[in-house]
Structures are given as C-alpha cells and as structure tokens.
Amino acid sequence: MHISLIGCGNMGEAILAGLHQKHMFHIVEARPERRQVLKTKYRCTFVDIAHAVDSSEIIILAVKPQDLSTVLEELSAQSLKAKLVISIAAGVTTSFIEKALKQSARVVRVMPNLPAVIKEGVTGITKGAKAGSEDIKKAVDLFSAVGETVVVKEEMIDAVTAVSGSGPAYVFLFVECMMKAAMKLGFKEKEAKALVYKTLTGSAHMLVASTDSAEELRAKVTSKGGTTQAATDVFMQKDIVGVYEKALQAAKKRAAELSQ
C-alpha cells in the first residue's frame, strides 16, 4: 500500500519505523536536515503535498496541531476522492478537519504513542462523520502493526491522549526520579540504571502476564510493616492518586484547548 506521511517528527517517524517494511511511504517534510536523516534510515520518497495526494490511498497528517491549518488549506485544493485521511494531531477534531478540507473527506483520527517506534505502542482510533467501518478497519490494521489499538467514540479521544498518548512521558519521569533517588542512596549511575530499568521492565512484563490486577500485585510485594510499606506510605501521604488524577485531567484539558 502507498501511504503519504505529511510531517515526520518524533511521532511521524514512530509510524514510519513501524510500517516502512510493509508499505511504500511518500513523505512531505519541509526540513532538509530531517529529510537527510530519514533518507538514510527508511525506504521512502520525498514529495510535495500535491504528489502526496496523487500517489497514495492513505494520507497521514503528522504535523504539530498548530501547523495543521496550513496543511489542511493546501490539501483542500486537492481532490481527496477515494482517499482516507488519518490525523494524529492532538486535540484537533474530525469535524474541524472535514470543514477545513471543504469536501466530503473520509477522516479518521488516531492517537498513537511513542513506543510505536519499537512496535509496542497503543493507539486510540475514532472516525469522522464521512468515514465508515472499512476506514476504521484500515486504521486498525495499520496501527496494529505497531502495537495495540482501541476504537473509541471521539468524545473519549482527548482522554486517550491524556492516558496513553502522553503516558510514556509519565513513565520516563518516574524512572528519572527513581534514578536520582537511587544515586542519592550511593549507587553509581550504571548500577542505578541496572536496578531501576530491570525493576521497571520486569514489573511491566509481570503485570501483562499476570491475571492479578496492579493493586493485587502491589499487595503481594507489600508486607505489613516492611520496607515496601514504608515507601508506599510516603507516596500515599503525598496523595499520589490525586496527583495522577490532576495530571491526567490537565493533559485532557490541554488536548481540548488545542482544538479551539
């Protein structure tokens, strides 16, 4: 299948990295230095927007939300008949895209996350007014190649952005804090990295493989009056549950603001 990717920053490259071996990509990328980097790593060609539309069945919009209006204006001058437009722009609704394209465009909105680059991502998918079940199926098939997919109503896509789209950053922040805390206990960076990274990956694999919930697994590690309880008591005293709720609400609110 021929796919056009308009914009190829971090998330665009994550999609490209996961799919370039199965599909032919045509990339619209304004930065010469970025094109050079991509050219050495992937099987792709570089085109303008007119050629991107002509040469592909699927057009993926992977520019930053603040740059999307300019791209949509250029796209609106092209014939999008029989084309599927997939947008990964956070906070930008399918109705906004449909209106900007000034034609009966079939639009699907997706929210992948960065682990798609290693085929361990998760992508929320929703459809616009003109898109049908076959369009959703195409999007699911595409993004299943880079991880899990979840089809949701559009009203939930900002929440997907808050939970999984931004989620890897929360995990990286947690590891960053664990690393700093471990080194303050006296470990060298290499030692701290081995301890923290393997604890993280081992726990994640156990969580996926186990039939127990995260709460149940935590309870199995936590002996009453022991070292783990001493640590988790500090987290609870700082209202870690409330912090997570506020953080995700802030991310969801910002995603909604980006659509204004």
- In this prediction, residue 168 has a pLDDT band, given cuts at 50, 70 and 90, of very high
User: What's the pLDDT at 50?
Assistant: 92
- In this prediction, residue 218 has a pLDDT band, given cuts at 50, 70 and 90, of very high
Residue 134: C-alpha distances to residues 20, 87, 224 (Å) = 22, 16, 53
Within this chain, do residues 80 and 105 fall inside the same structural domain, yes or no? yes
Within this chain, do residues 147 and 18 fall inside the same structural domain, yes or no? yes
Token duo for residue 52: 């991107």
List the Cα angle 52/55/61 in 5-degree steps.
Answer: 35
* Over residues 114-137, mean pLDDT: 93
- Does residue 163 or residue 90 have the better pLDDT? 163
User: What's the pLDDT at 82?
Assistant: 87
Within this chain, do residues 126 and 52 fall inside the same structural domain, yes or no? yes
Token duo for residue 64: 């930053």
In angstroms, rounded to a whole number, what is the distance separating the alpha carbons of residues 92 and 260? 8
Model pLDDT for residues 77-115, shown as the tens digit of each residue: 888 988 999 999 888 899 999 999 988 889 999 999 989
Does residue 220 form part of some domain? yes
Burial letters 112-150, b for 16+ CB under 10 A, else e: bbbbbbeeebbbbbbbbebbeeebbebbbebbebbbebb
Count of domains forming the chain: 2
Within this chain, do residues 96 and 146 fall inside the same structural domain, yes or no? yes
Whether the CB-CB separation of 5 and 15 falls below 8 Å is answered with: yes
pLDDT exceeds cutoff 90 at 162:
yes
Model pLDDT for residues 50-68, shown as the tens digit of each residue: 999 998 999 999 998 888 9
